[in-house]
Amino acid sequence: MAAVVLRTHRKPAGIPVFPPHADPGGDCVLSRVMAEEPWRAELAWPAGFEGGLAHRLDVSTSGAVAVAADPDQLAWLRARFTAKELRKTYLLWAAKEVSWSEHRCDRPLAHDRKHRGRMVVQRGPNTPHRGRWMAASTSFRRVQGRLWRAEIRTGVTHQIRLHAAFVGIPILGDRRYGGGATPPDAPRGTDFFLHHAGFEGPDVTTRPVADPEWITRAAQS
């Protein structure tokens, strides 16, 4: 049986997936999807997945956002996320060069004890943190130059950003996790360079979206 190919919306860097709390009417992926397909407002989507949007991306992260056809397909898809059956692929531009070309990081992550909105990696049994440690695993493979492919099955907040920094390839422009300042010629809305290419599982895949223009520059850096 052929895999289900999910509809995707190409999220540009600089806008959130859902409306920001400070501006409920602001530009976001949800408002764009609803403008294209207003019939979605008539369906009973669960809270946090309005419009059938199946997952979130950081504001600065561009790429594919999966859009479920109906609430049943959304529940089916979310079950696969929960079971860690989906391999999610990202592309990143590293701020630093390293000698190796493959790495895997399995360090658990937790919320920073002092700084809201920041995560920490477990460096040892006494690493300060808040709440529980969450299992996370990220595989990194060099594509070319400082362009890297990251693959995950878990989905902890800031997972790729933090694991990339921990192994020595912080994402360019990610000040929070050691990636330095955003280059002055960065595309509009881009603070750091991370792109979600999509995901796939044994019976599902996402429709591909176009890569951002910085991909070529990263491969040549």
Which tens digit of pLDDT belongs to each residue from 64-85? 999 999 999 999 999 999 999 9
Which tens digit of pLDDT belongs to each residue from 10-68? 999 999 999 988 888 889 999 999 999 999 999 999 999 999 999 999 999 999 999 99
Active site residue 58: yes
User: What CA–CA distance (Å, rounded) separates 9 from 171?
Assistant: 24
pLDDT score at 211: 95
Kind plus residue range of the DSSP H or E element containing 81: helix 71-82
| Homologous superfamily assigned to 4-219 | Pseudouridine synthase (3.30.2350.10)
Task: Please list, in sequence order, all residues whose beta carbon lies within 8 angstroms of the beta carbon of residue 71, skipping any fewer than 6 positions away.
Answer: 43, 44, 45, 46, 52
Tokens of 158: 């800031």
> For strand 204-206 and strand 4-11, is the pairing parallel, antiparallel, or unpaired?
parallel
Which tens digit of pLDDT belongs to each residue from 91-130? 999 999 999 999 999 999 999 999 988 999 999 999 999 9
Q: Among the options 23, 27, 58, 72, which is catalytic?
A: 58
> Where exactly are the structural domains of the chain?
4-219
- Does 2 score more than 80 pLDDT? no
User: What CA–CA distance (Å, rounded) separates 162 from 173?
Assistant: 13
pTM, 2 dp: 0.94
pLDDT score at 1: 53
User: What CA–CA distance (Å, rounded) separates 14 from 58?
Assistant: 9
